[in-house]
Chain A
Amino acid sequence: MSRLRCHDVRSRVRELVEHKRFQQFIIWVIVANAITLGLETSSSLMASVGGLLHAVDHVMLAIFVVELVLRLYAYGWRFFRDPWNVFDFLIVGISVIPTSGPFSVLRALRILRALRLISAVPAMRRVVSGLLAAVPGMASIGALLALIIYVAAVMATKLFGANSPEYFGDLGTTLFTLFQTMTGEAWPDIAREVMAAAPLAWIFFVIYILISSFAVLNLFIAVIVNGMEKTVTSDLVEAEDRHAADQAASDQLILEELRALRSEVAELRSRERA
């Protein structure tokens, strides 16, 4: 009896959570929360209405937590099967962690709550799923690029670490410098400084830039080809299907006619025999 009632409550909660009004309300809370968090960055506003902003922020966080708990209750363990739900759970979870002491950087991460807009608005969800669909195609080239950067970084740290420690002092610094070089930003400054001490360093820089930009270009192409393939192919497949249906209809007609012809011939033959 109590199990039955529990089931009843669950389905009603699910109905509430899936109701359009409820979801719209959550979207508005997310947008309002993004605005209040934006306002919190202004020190003059914080000085005058800081308390109010914090109170509003806490109320909104409470709304998010209640919504999450309702959804958890409604779906049970299946809640965690949808990656978007896990995303929501993590983002709301970050905000609930006490933000004092070593965790104070998490205070800045509260704004990640605005990203819940992506999971709450179906159109945004579709865009992000589309973007993520391009990732597997990039994975192999991305891994190759990471390998190239790592090898180049170990090499450069060994070669130039002593000459210009501010760029190539340790592996972490070198990786950052090489990332910068890959984006093409201010790399000649770095190269000239290194080349002042090691004139042949241009070999390293030119080869690294050629290879890494070639790899990046291929990353781009992977993404582009992926995007094109999906849209253009689906359009063409649609047209192809339509024509195949027409073709099948006309084939059917011919087949019918042939069958009739064959039975006609069979009849003729049986008469001949008789």
Chain B
Amino acid sequence: MRARARALVEHQSFQRTVIVLIVFNAITLGLETSARMEAEYGGLLHVLDRATLAVFVAELGLRVYGYGWAFFRDPWSIFDTLVIGIALVPAAGPLSVLRTLRVLRVLRLVSAVPSMRRVVAGLLAAVPGMASVASLLALVIFVAGVMSTKLFGGIAPEYFGDLGTTLFTLFQIMTGEAWPDIARVVMAAAPLAWIFFVIYILVSSFAVLNLFIAVVVSGMEDQVTADLAEAEERNAEAQARSDALILEEVRALRAEVAELRNERDS
């Protein structure tokens, strides 16, 4: 029974049906955002949404049944469970924000289409390389945040009033957007504040640049190194083959000479 459930879920046309349903659901969820469509066909859209949700739940149930506990070992399965679970939580009262999160179901397209899965897995593979630089960047922003709250909190409370405000301001400065406006306001009262801004911009953009580089390098590494290693491997193989040939030839030559000696001896 389990094996049959598994065979069904792994069947190609079953998976294709699920993909089509996800796309269909994405369209109905998109239509729900239009007030006019909502007024005219709101009931129908809701019914369709419920129906697709029911299909998804049934699909998930089949997969859980088919794989047992092994189901939860695959992170993609957990992702599917969470995304569908959100839709099942009653979206009334304080949880009404969850209604908006229903559209996250469309992201199931990522886990359902293998090529998308590979892309996302590739993106995630770059994350560990970024982690150390990212934590350094967080530390730099925190230190700069506490410092500038102390230094400029009295001068420009709208930008540096408390730690939260300052962290937001520093994030803005890191993105480079309208930083001179902030700097000039502060510098009107504290002329030496340029030191802080220039150093902070240089350090934070250097760190961000290195974040990008970490990603690029890890991407390149996988790609270029794999290519080069393959070429290298091929060359080494050819070399090994020719070495084997030479060795064989030399051995034969030696046998020939040994034969010659024997002939002379006798």
Contacts and interface: CB of A to CB of B under 8 A. Distances in A.
A44 B232 CA distance: 65
Contact of A231 (B132, B145, B221, B247): B221
Interface in B227-260: 228-229, 232-233, 235-236, 239-240, 243-244, 246-247, 250-251, 253-254, 257-258, 260
A232 B132 contact: no
A183 B145 CA distance: 21
Contacts of B247: 250, 253-254, 257
Nearest to B137: A127
Contacts, number: 154
A184 B136 CA distance: 26
A108 B254 contact: no
A247 B246 CA distance: 13
A41 B150 contact: yes
Interface string A257-272: 1101100110110011
A257 B176 contact: no
Interface in A219-274: 220, 223-224, 227-228, 231-232, 235-236, 239-240, 243, 246-247, 250-251, 253-254, 257-258, 260-261, 264-265, 267-268, 271-272
Contacts of A243: 232, 235-236
B217 interface: yes
Contact of A232 (B149, B201, B221): B221
B139 A111 contact: no
Contacts of A126: 132
B232 A271 contact: no
A82 interface: no
B40 interface: no
Contact of A251 (B153, B243, B253): B243
> Which bucket holds chain A's interface residue count?
35 or more
B180 A131 contact: no
A228 B151 contact: no
A239 B254 contact: no
A37 interface: yes
Contact of B217 (A179, A227, A240, A251): A227
Nearest to A264: B257
Contact of B146 (A38, A186, A250): A38
Contacts of A223: 206, 209-210, 213
B258 A111 contact: no
B79 interface: no
B143 interface: yes
Which label, helix, strand, loop or mixed, suits the secondary structure of the B interface?
Answer: helix
Interface in A30-44: 34, 37-38, 40-43
Interface stretch (A15-23, A58-66, A114-122): A114-122
B142 interface: yes
B143 A185 contact: no
Nearest to B248: A257
A172 to B, nearest CB: 8
A228 B236 contact: no
B243 A250 contact: yes
Nearest to B192: A105
Given A41-B163, A264-B261, A186 B178 contact: yes
Interface string A187-199: 0000000000000
B74 interface: no
Contact of B163 (A42, A228, A258): A42
13 contacts: A112-B143, A114-B142, A128-B136, A185-B180, A227-B217, A239-B229, A239-B232, A250-B243, A253-B243, A254-B247, A257-B250, A264-B258, A265-B257
Interface of B: 132-133, 135-136, 139, 142-143, 145-147, 149-151, 153, 162-163, 166, 176-181, 183, 194, 198, 201, 206-207, 209-210, 213-214, 216-217, 220-221, 224-225, 228-229, 232-233, 235-236, 239-240, 243-244, 246-247, 250-251, 253-254, 257-258, 260-261, 264-265
